[in-house]
Structure 1
């Protein structure tokens, strides 16, 4: 699906925009399911296994930061991952065997929906090699006002910056870090049905949504099958035990078969410990860990 030029751009810059990766029918069904889930949150008064609520959430005005693990909430989110144009993009970038790490639907409520401070995904979940990426499906048009994803081109080839504050993992970089080149940031706006991809080591973040509509982006984090997670990160599968982990791994396979021969490469790693007081989401990690904002 990707051209050689697109694959080369991703290799050089650590990000990519792919337009019209979803069909109109696929996009419409995802929108319907998502807005129905948001509507169902009206009766929710505190964070659950499905919903992370934003400030000001109420029955009259539902405001969410995130729908957690959407592929486990509705099977269509999983189907899109495993049988659509998205699958072919992943095949082009990761090869014939790839595994889902996790997924979330960042809804970013209108009128100030929470920012995601600058970070590298790799800081949250280091692996045995860095053939790891995240991609976002835009379920609505994403404009500058809606708090789009911002990335720093080429940062995936640089250092892993500290994501600690006062000795605690806060899930964000210090805006004054000399290796944080905010002036080089690129903003990824696009129309509904488009897909952004960024390498796990690419520095990225997003400002608050100051528009009057939600910013709906469906994010999946994916690893090539021979990239195995390193113990000490926060993912649920570290607590499963050997047999349950293997069964869970098989259920997360997107392309090909699970791999039991990890590729070990010389990659920079700083473990995300000790954890922030509340590490239940990136929003809670950054807030409770005292992360400094680059969007202030």
Structure 2
């Protein structure tokens, strides 16, 4: 699906926008499932294994920061990842053997939905090589007002910046880091049905949603099968043990087959240790770790 020009742009800049990656019928079904899950959250009063609640959430006004692991909540999310144009983009960029690390549906509520402070995904889950990426499938139109993804082009080729505050991993960089060049940021807006792609090492973040519309983005975080996670990363898999890990890996294969010969590359790594007091989500990590906001200066 991607042209060589697309691939070269991604290699050079670390991000890509793919238009109309799902059909109107696929989009409508994804939207219906997502709105049903949001409706179900009205009965939830505390964040749990399915929902991260935003400030002001209640039965009369569901406000979420995230629906966790949507591909495990409804099989259609998995079908889109594994049997659609999304799959073609995945294999175009990562090769024939791929796995999913996690998924999330960021449902940034209107009128101040939480920001995601600037960070590199690589800081959370480093691996033996950096053939990892995240897809952000827009389930609603995303414009400058409702908290779009922002990236620093080319930053995936640079260092891993510190994501620590007072000696604790806080899941965000210091806005005053001299290597953080926010003036170079590119804002990724797009229509529902379009999809962003960003490299695991690129610096990115998103401002609060100040519009009267929700920002619904379905994120899939994926890896080439030969990119094996390093011990110390913030992932549940390290607690599974050898047999549990192998069983879990079978369930995470998107295309091709698992790889038993990890590819080792000279990539920069900082481990996310010691963890923040609450590291159950990026929002909780950034809050409990005392991350400073770059968006408060905007």
Q: Same fold (TM over 0.5)?
A: yes
Local SS of the residue matching 2:286? helix
Task: Output the CA distance in 1 between the equivalents of 2:80 and 2:123.
Answer: 27
Corresponding residue of 1:244: 244
Corresponding residue of 1:134: 134
Task: Output the CA distance in 2 between the equivalents of 1:66 and 1:144.
Answer: 20
Task: Show the 5 A alignment for 1:43-192.
Answer: 43-192=43-192
User: Shift of residue 7 of structure 1?
Assistant: 0.5
Task: Output the CA distance in 1 between the equivalents of 2:238 and 2:146.
Answer: 35
> Would you say how many aligned residue pairs link Structure 1 and Structure 2?
296
Corresponding residue of 2:264: 264
User: Shift of residue 233 of structure 1?
Assistant: 1.2
Task: Output the CA distance in 1 between the equivalents of 2:230 and 2:192.
Answer: 35
Q: Which stretch shows the higher mean deviation, 239-248 or 13-22? A: 239-248
User: Shift of residue 250 of structure 1?
Assistant: 1.0
User: Shift of residue 213 of structure 1?
Assistant: 1.3
Local SS of the residue matching 1:107? strand
Q: What is the Cα-based RMSD across aligned positions, in Å?
A: 0.5
Task: Output the CA distance in 2 between the equivalents of 1:106 and 1:213.
Answer: 13
1:274 aligns with 2:274: yes
Corresponding residue of 1:233: 233
Cα displacement string for residues 155-176 of structure 1 (whole angstroms, at most 9, x for unaligned residues):
0001100000000000000000
Task: Output the CA distance in 1 between the equivalents of 2:48 and 2:277.
Answer: 18
User: Shift of residue 254 of structure 1?
Assistant: 0.7
Task: Output the CA distance in 1 between the equivalents of 2:175 and 2:234.
Answer: 24
Task: Output the CA distance in 1 between the equivalents of 2:278 and 2:236.
Answer: 15
Cα displacement string for residues 231-282 of structure 1 (whole angstroms, at most 9, x for unaligned residues):
1112111111111111111111011000010001111111000000110100
Task: Output the CA distance in 1 between the equivalents of 2:48 and 2:214.
Answer: 20
Cα displacement string for residues 13-41 of structure 1 (whole angstroms, at most 9, x for unaligned residues):
00000000000111000000000000000
Task: Output the CA distance in 1 between the equivalents of 2:65 and 2:76.
Answer: 21
Cα displacement string for residues 143-194 of structure 1 (whole angstroms, at most 9, x for unaligned residues):
1101000000000001100000000000000000010000000000000000
Local SS of the residue matching 2:215? coil
TM-score normalised to structure 1 length: 0.99
Q: Could you list the runs of 5+ residues in structure 2 that have no partner in the other structure?
A: none
Task: Output the CA distance in 1 between the equivalents of 2:290 and 2:198.
Answer: 25
User: Shift of residue 115 of structure 1?
Assistant: 0.1
Corresponding residue of 1:208: 208
Task: Output the CA distance in 2 between the equivalents of 1:78 and 1:91.
Answer: 15
Local SS of the residue matching 2:218? strand
1:224 aligns with 2:224: yes
Task: Output the CA distance in 1 between the equivalents of 2:289 and 2:127.
Answer: 23
User: Shift of residue 55 of structure 1?
Assistant: 0.1
